[in-house]
Amino acid sequence: MRAPLHVITGGARGFGLAISQRLLADGGRVCLLGRSQSSLDTAVEALGEQASGFVCDVADSDSVDAVFAAIRERFGSIDSLVTNAGVARPNKVENLDAAEVAMQVNTNFLGTVFCCKAAIPLLRGAGNPRILTVSSASAWHTDEMAHLSIYAASKAAVERFTRDLREELQDDGIGVTCLRPGSAESGFAGDWDPELLEIAFASWRESGPCMDVGMTSNHVADAVAWALSQPPGVAVDLLEIRPNMKAPKP
């Protein structure tokens, strides 16, 4: 029997890399999608011969369609899609930058929509096909961080979209899960404007001195692997995993 093939958007870094490592360790093969060829090359080299990388901007439907056509050409079908690619930019609503609003909505929400649409025909017919979308605890919990209104709203849209996806794909036997992680260390805030980050932190500190810590990318990856490994006929609809130790806010 061939090893299951998982497609992970944003698979070269952060949560996506940890998810890829975990799914490989479980005996799978992985296709990583991301915008940076060099990040993909580095990840694929580290992950080994069961991993491959495809340059793709999930916010661009043509790019997504081209990559899924290439995956179909090379592998025929896939067993799961994990829509993990995501971006955030902190800012107060009155100062929002239109390009940054579009980037967050287009990557987080439309990127999820485009990838699910393109993956469905490749998933049909697999033994236990799965789609897992990645939301964020900030979609529902306001104590996660301040000034992430657009990011949080784009993730709430992902969750609502995933509910319809579940209903639509039931007759195809495609199990659908939405994962809602809280914060864990990754490169996620690495490219945020330091000034806007500090303003957001200052506002966040006003809501209390402590934050929750203790979760790593590997815990998120374990949650993904568990959801994907459910038997046919069972799907984890919504899975929220959050850190659970108190620490002073930065």
Ligand X SMILES: NC(=O)c1ccc[n+]([C@@H]2O[C@H](COP(=O)([O-])OP(=O)(O)OC[C@H]3O[C@@H](n4cnc5c(N)ncnc54)[C@H](OP(=O)(O)O)[C@@H]3O)[C@@H](O)[C@H]2O)c1
Provide the binding-site residues for ligand X, judged by CB under 6 A.
Answer: 9-10, 12-16, 33-36, 39, 56-59, 84-87, 107, 111, 134, 136, 181, 183-184, 186-188
CB closer to ligand X, 124 vs 249: 249
d(CA 235, CA 175): 5
Q: Which two tokens stand for residue 151?
A: 């990011």
Q: Which two tokens stand for residue 223?
A: 């949650």
Burial class (CB in 10 A: 0-12, 13-18, 19+), 29: buried
d(CA 51, CA 84): 17
CB of 119 to ligand X, least distance (A): 14
CB of 223 to ligand X, least distance (A): 12
Q: What backbone phi and psi angles, to 5 degrees, belong to 238? A: -140, 130
d(CA 235, CA 167): 12
CB closer to ligand X, 184 vs 211: 184
CB closer to ligand X, 184 vs 200: 184
151 is catalytic: yes
CB of 197 to ligand X, least distance (A): 14
Tell me which of 54, 68, 114, 151 is the catalytic residue.
Answer: 151
CB of 29 to ligand X, least distance (A): 18
CB closer to ligand X, 128 vs 192: 192
In 121-244, beta strands by DSSP E: 130-134, 175-181, 210-213, 238-241
Best CA proximity match to 175, nearest among 114, 117, 233: 233
Write out the H or E segment, with its range, that includes residue 50: none
Which residues carry out catalysis?
Answer: 151
